[in-house]
Amino acid sequence: MGGLDDLYQQLILDHYRNRRGRGRIENASASVHEHNPVCGDECFLDILVEDNRIVEIRADGDGCSISQAAASMLTEVVADKDLNEALEIVEHFRRMMHGDAEPDEDLLGDAIALEGVAKYPVRVKCALLSWLALRDAIASYRETTAHGG
Amino acid sequence: MGGLDDLYQQLILDHYRNRRGRGRIENASASVHEHNPVCGDECFLDILVEDNRIVEIRADGDGCSISQAAASMLTEVVADKDLNEALEIVEHFRRMMHGDAEPDEDLLGDAIALEGVAKYPVRVKCALLSWLALRDAIASYRETTAHGG
Amino acid sequence: MTTTGSPALDARAIRAEFPMFVAPRPDGRPLHYLDSAATSQKPQVVLDAMNAYYRETNANVHRGVYEMAAEATDRFEFGRTAAARLINHPREALVLTKNATEAINLVAWAWGARELREGDEIVVTEMEHHSNIVPWQIVASMTGAKVLFAPVTPQGEVELDALRALIGPCTRMVAAVHVSNVLGTINPVREIVEMAHQAGALTMIDATQSVPHMPVDATSIGSDFLVFTGHKMLGPTGIGALAASPERLNAMEPFLGGGEMISDVTTEGSTWAEIPWKFEAGTPPIAEAVGLGAAVEYLEALGMDRVREHERATAELMINALGEVPGLTILGPTDPDRRGAAVSFTLDAVHPHDIAQFLDSKGVCVRAGHHCAKPLMRVLGTQSTTRASAHVYTTDEDILALQGALIECRSWFGA
Amino acid sequence: MTTTGSPALDARAIRAEFPMFVAPRPDGRPLHYLDSAATSQKPQVVLDAMNAYYRETNANVHRGVYEMAAEATDRFEFGRTAAARLINHPREALVLTKNATEAINLVAWAWGARELREGDEIVVTEMEHHSNIVPWQIVASMTGAKVLFAPVTPQGEVELDALRALIGPCTRMVAAVHVSNVLGTINPVREIVEMAHQAGALTMIDATQSVPHMPVDATSIGSDFLVFTGHKMLGPTGIGALAASPERLNAMEPFLGGGEMISDVTTEGSTWAEIPWKFEAGTPPIAEAVGLGAAVEYLEALGMDRVREHERATAELMINALGEVPGLTILGPTDPDRRGAAVSFTLDAVHPHDIAQFLDSKGVCVRAGHHCAKPLMRVLGTQSTTRASAHVYTTDEDILALQGALIECRSWFGA
Ligand SMILES: Cc1ncc(COP(=O)(O)O)c(C=O)c1O
Ligand SMILES: Cc1ncc(COP(=O)(O)O)c(C=O)c1O
């Protein structure tokens, strides 16, 4: 069952069973709601931004172990990061998922454990769900503030 | 080249080269215009009816040897026939073309030579063009007279 | 045919006729293919028929004078004849399409986009596949018509009284699935068709999941339209069918325009060929029709009654076997007489994606997701399910492998 | 690949790779297949790719978690990638359809039926295949738009000045064929596209007869839409393609609705998947896409420049050989640089049906009829023509056999 262990590394199962950063933020600076068209899974992502920094991030919604672990890892790795840094991390993660980048543990933290997902195209969508939600949340935050919100 | 000789019997080539009953009838009792959707060939068929009898029949239009010979034979075999008899002959010919009837030379005259066409589905349409035109012409004649035309 | 003379199908013997089950997988994993509701495997005779077509008589159909073209036309039209015969339908009223979805869209566009008016209503059930929902939504949005959904009980049955109440003077079309691809429910389609006809509405029966698995008599169902798809009935991809009433087809304006479907074309306008060709524009799926014909002959030789009996028995076994898995909940009817062998379930909190992934590592192929039936998922109160589904080649071992893998899966994910 | 290193294709070696030409015919007749404009023969590699798909990894695409389904998706999407690469087009803007006809209808219905208004004009040429006429007539009759025909000279060329004069402020769409299936004429499509765009009209290029036979660069043609079909380019039946500008596809509402093409479906309404899947409803022609991919790879290995050079040389030989047949008149351009190797002709008063029938008895397969181009037939002043057409496997012997059979045919029918 080598393939399975490759995919479901211990770190992933650990994040899945003990999700970090779960829930919602009352007074979020930006909130987005994404869904995975393949399985219907949903992700609610909230960020609280201060001085261009993610001071709080929470992800909610049900999903498979990969999507839950990915969300859990995301909330850890981008916590307290500057918005541009966060976007850079998301982009690096996205490229790793598409097999376009050598994974960099300094950027990704625990999320490097998701590297094996890249071999399972359908599951790539699961892993990316919350991460791309963050990208959209940042874009939406910037749009609102640019318009004086 | 057996197949070819089977299809193009001498009688067929003879009718093709010397078409009988070609042309139009000025004061026709009924006229129809049919075309073969496969090749675009057209057939103009006129009949003159008196006392329920086909006193004159002419077919016009270009076409392949099979369609020309079939039209030529038609004009001979139904000449002077009662409308019901003519319809019966047409139906017998139609069934022969679809392989549904043993050909009866008494009914078909020279047209029995077209029997071999049944094996060539695309050519069946050629052979039937003028014959089905006659069926339509009789129907149209009857409709007009029924409505007091 | 290698099936025994006994009434029951010999699924093991049948497997030997399917190349997919004959060759070992490169990594040595067994193959317990339980995703036939998504697409079926193909017997060798179907591949042979298509290969023979390409090798012996490949030519474009319907207009060629030369013998090879006439032979191609014969083999193509034989596929239509076989498919029509299987469902007891007149062959001239069987339109070949690329899949069941196109067949439904054909009606939605050719009839609906032209005939529907503001305030008209189309009634579907909450149990429909997206293919029997979205085409109606699209033409409704173009015409101002409305799509109404007949409710489905949490046990996975259409509420017939509520459906009856929904159908009214504004109803122009009632569209319902024969057998649910998610729950396996067999719907009382004759009753539904009668209800609709009494109200003067047309009917569309989605028989995509019934035609492959049981005797289906389109004439006795009596719907105006009925669709099915080749790839789920042991046939190739790229072909489906619309069986319609001949009067309806004759009355309808065409859908796709182009070669083959015309009688005459002028710069002023065009006239149409006879049915069914009036609805088949362009070069049809020729080899695919040949393959479909071979699939129908294969099913006929097995006997659709026996195919249904195998399906019933497999459903029963599956429901019993799954019932023994701790934490597993079966969705939909549990009476095997009232369902097909597509069985959806949930397993504690383990997500369907994880289940399907784990099962794959044991050689068990199942589907996880919304099964193109999101409105039904909402009724069931879930985002996705895991579905195991069978066909004539499904054996007891497949079901036992599924059961065993599910038990292991549950503990692996620590549920 | 068994072709030599030399610049010219070795058609005899190529034939050895096509099962249709390898097996002798049961009645011993030779096979001079000169009907490739209707459909092409298939190399063994195309059949092998489809068989391998069915044997090794047949599963429904895009949603399956298990490995076999992911592999099926890969092979399917590889077909799209290959087809897009062949015409230098972005893969996400290449929609797979069942044939070229459906691809044109997709645009006519999804765009035309929704966007056209009374008084709008669609300009086509008199040289179009019915598939690029009838869809426009159908949506015109639904919307009140008009279809205008740009004239073609008796020599078989589009009158560009007249076309330019026809295109005006009411023109919404200009639809033109790249290479005529009847006359072989190569049209100046870049010029036509520019004319249309200057007037603010959209453009549809029917590249069904060009993509199989010459390098076609969709990006440099620059049309909004361009279509082609698998079965004429050494691929299987049941697959075609619409190459569109990505912006256009994104802006368009969908056509066929159903599984695969949605993002979300609710009882209130639905949202769509990304392009190209937004336009691919239901189970796609999976094995057919795999076969198309193999056909593209085969053509690429031959080299499209060399394919075109073989086509040009064959056209030249055909025109010379036919020119020596007494009583024979070639329709369309005679300069091989300006045409493909589909050559229509008349032979005294011998009817095309009789010619095709006689030729068949000599093993020569040609097409007789209106070639789905009745408006063009009227321009040419005939009801039907005989057409011989070639592909990469066409040899000099085929052409000489055609010539010889035509000479015999003429005397047999006593012309
Ligand atoms: C020029 C042209 N356009 C369109 C078509 C239609 O192609 P298909 O029948 O594959 O849809 C053809 C082939 O018949 C053609 O030659
Ligand atoms: C119930 C039902 N209807 C329609 C379809 C659509 O079939 P296809 O994808 O072949 O068009 C399916 C299969 O996915 C189905 O299960």
Quote the pLDDT of residue D2: 40
C409 counts as catalytic: no
Assigned token pair, D26: 């049961």
Return the HEC string of chain B: CHHHHHHCCHHHHHHHHCCCCECCCCCCCEEEEEECCCCCCEEEEEEEEECCEEEEEEEECCCCHHHHHHHHHHHHHCCCCEHHHHHHHHHHHHHHHCCCCCCCHHHHHHHHHHHHHHHCHHHHHHHHHHHHHHHHHHHHHHHHHHCCC
Task: Give percent of chain C above pLDDT 90.
Answer: 95
Quote the pLDDT of residue C415: 61
pLDDT 10s digits, C15-73: 999 999 999 898 999 999 999 999 999 999 999 999 999 999 999 998 889 999 999 99
CB D82 within 8 A of CB D92: no
CB D100 near ligand 1, within 6 Å: yes
How many C-beta atoms lie closer than 10 Å to residue D161's C-beta? 10
Quote the pLDDT of residue A6: 84
Tell me the pLDDT band of C290, cut-offs 50, 70 and 90.
Answer: very high
Q: Which of D2, D118, D62, D33 is nearest to D341 (CA)?
A: D33
Quote the pLDDT of residue D226: 98
Residue with tokens 């802006």: D251
Low-confidence ranges of chain D (pLDDT < 70): 1-6, 415
Residue D385, classified by CB atoms within 10 Å of its CB into exposed (0-12), middle (13-18) or buried (19+), is: buried
Q: Using a CB-CB distance cutoff of 8 angstroms, which residues of chain C are in contact with residue D372?
A: 258-260, 262
* Cα–Cα distance measured from residue A43 to residue A49, given in angstroms and rounded to the nearest whole number: 19
pLDDT 10s digits, C199-245: 999 999 999 999 999 999 999 999 999 999 999 999 999 999 999 99
C97 strand-pairing partners: C240
Whether D351 sits inside 8 A of B62 (CB atoms) is: yes
Quote the pLDDT of residue B146: 82
CB D185 near ligand 1, within 6 Å: no
pLDDT 10s digits, C312-348: 999 999 999 999 999 999 999 999 999 999 999 999 9
Atom of ligand 2 nearest to the CA of C131: 4
Size of interface B-C (CB pairs under 8 A): 20
Whether the pTM exceeds 0.90: the reply is yes
Residue type present at position D297? E
Quote the pLDDT of residue B62: 86
* Cα–Cα distance measured from residue C414 to residue C327, given in angstroms and rounded to the nearest whole number: 12
pLDDT value at C114 more than 50: yes
DSSP A33: E
Number of the ligand closest to the Cα of D387: 1
* Cα–Cα distance measured from residue A134 to residue A131, given in angstroms and rounded to the nearest whole number: 5
- Nearest Cβ partner for A39 among C358, C384, C414: C384
- Nearest Cβ partner for C262 among B37, B120, B122: B37
* Residue with CA nearest ligand 2 atom 16: C181
Query: Parallel, antiparallel, or unpaired: how do β-strands A42-50 and C262-265 relate?
Result: unpaired
How many C-beta atoms lie closer than 10 Å to residue D312's C-beta? 18
Q: Using a CB-CB distance cutoff of 8 angstroms, which residues of chain C are in contact with residue A65?
A: 351, 353-354, 413
Quote the pLDDT of residue B148: 59
Structural domain of A22 = 2-146
Residue type present at position D23? A
CB D212 near ligand 1, within 6 Å: no
How many C-beta atoms lie closer than 10 Å to residue C235's C-beta? 34
pLDDT 10s digits, B95-107: 999 999 999 999 9
Quote the pLDDT of residue B41: 87
Locate the chain C residue with the closest alpha carbon to B37.
Answer: C263
Using alpha carbons, list the distances in angstroms from residue A111 to A12, A78, A108, A117, C345: 8, 11, 5, 11, 31
Quote the pLDDT of residue C4: 42
Locate the chain B residue with the closest alpha carbon to D369.
Answer: B39
Quote the pLDDT of residue A148: 59
Task: Give percent of chain A above pLDDT 90.
Answer: 82
Q: Residue A18's domain is classified under what CATH number?
A: 3.90.1010.10
Whether C370 sits inside 8 A of A39 (CB atoms) is: yes
Residue type present at position C244? A
CB D379 within 8 A of CB D126: yes
Locate the chain C residue with the closest alpha carbon to A64.
Answer: C351
In chain D, CATH 3.40.640.10 covers: 48-300
pLDDT value at C3 more than 70: no
Q: What is the dihedral of CA D99, D101, D106, D108, to 10 degrees?
A: 170
Whether C73 sits inside 8 A of B121 (CB atoms) is: yes
| Chains contacting D (3 or more CB pairs within 8 Å) | A, B, C
Phi then psi for B43, rounded to 5 degrees? -135, 125
Quote the pLDDT of residue A4: 86
Residue with tokens 């789905």: D372
Locate the chain D residue with the closest alpha carbon to A37.
Answer: D263
Q: Residues in chain D, how many? A: 415
Instruction: Fold for C48-300, please state it.
Output: Aspartate Aminotransferase; domain 2 (3.40.640)
Q: Which of C213, C190, C178, C245 is nearest to C341 (CA)?
A: C213
* Cα–Cα distance measured from residue C327 to residue C346, given in angstroms and rounded to the nearest whole number: 8
pLDDT value at B22 more than 90: yes
CB D209 near ligand 1, within 6 Å: yes
Whether A38 sits inside 8 A of D74 (CB atoms) is: no
Quote the pLDDT of residue C2: 40
D78 CA from centroid of ligand 1 (Å)? 24
Tell me how far the alpha carbon of residue D196 is from its chain's centroid. Answer: 22
Given CATH 3.90.1150.10, say whether it is the number of domain D11-30+304-412: yes
Task: Give percent of chain A above pLDDT 70.
Answer: 97
Q: Which of C196, C238, A19, C108 is nearest to D54 (CA)?
A: C238
Q: Which of C74, C71, C77, C72 is nearest to C276 (CA)?
A: C77
Quote the pLDDT of residue B1: 39
DSSP D66: S
In chain D, CATH 3.90.1150.10 covers: 11-30+304-412
* Cα–Cα distance measured from residue B146 to residue B140, given in angstroms and rounded to the nearest whole number: 10
DSSP D2: -
C-alpha distance from B83 to closest chain D C-alpha (Å): 32
| Chains contacting A (3 or more CB pairs within 8 Å) | C, D
* Cα–Cα distance measured from residue D337 to residue D323, given in angstroms and rounded to the nearest whole number: 17
* Cα–Cα distance measured from residue D109 to residue C349, given in angstroms and rounded to the nearest whole number: 45
Q: Using a CB-CB distance cutoff of 8 angstroms, which residues of chain A are in contact with residue D62?
A: 38
Asked if ipTM goes beyond 0.90, one says: yes
What's the domain count of chain B? 1
Radius of gyration of chain A (CA): 15
Low-confidence ranges of chain A (pLDDT < 50): 1-2
